[in-house]
Structure 1
Amino acid sequence: MTTYFVSRHLGAIEWIKQQPQWQIDEFTPHLDATRIQAGDVVLGTLPLHLAAEVCSRGAKLYFLMLPQQFAERGNEHTVAAMSAAGATLQRFEVKKISE
Structure 2
Amino acid sequence: MGNTYFISRHPGAVTWAARRGIPVDRTLDHLEIELVHPGDTVIGTLPINLVARVCERGGRYLHLSLSLPPELRGQELSAETLERLGARLEEYEAVRKPCPEARK
Q: Matched residue pairs, number?
A: 98
Aligned to 1:30: 30
CA distance in 2 between partners of 1:83 and 1:19 (Å): 10
In structure 1, what residue type is equivalent to 2:35?
R
The Cα offsets for residues 52-86 of structure 1, whole Å up to 9 and x where unpaired, read as: 10011111100001211122111111111110110
After TM superposition, the runs of 4+ consecutive aligned structure 1 residues lying more than 2 A away are none
> Any residues of structure 2 matched to 1:1-40 within 5 Å, and which?
1-20=2-21, 22-40=22-40
Could you tell me which runs of 5 or more consecutive residues in structure 1 were left unpaired when the two chains were aligned: none
In structure 2, what residue type is equivalent to 1:13?
V
Q: Normalising by structure 2, report the TM-score.
A: 0.90
> Any residues of structure 2 matched to 1:1-99 within 5 Å, and which?
1-20=2-21, 22-99=22-99
> Identity, % of aligned pairs?
35
Aligned-residue Cα RMSD (Å) equals: 0.9
Q: Normalising by structure 1, report the TM-score.
A: 0.94
CA distance in 2 between partners of 1:86 and 1:97 (Å): 32
Deviation, structure 1 residue 97: 1.4
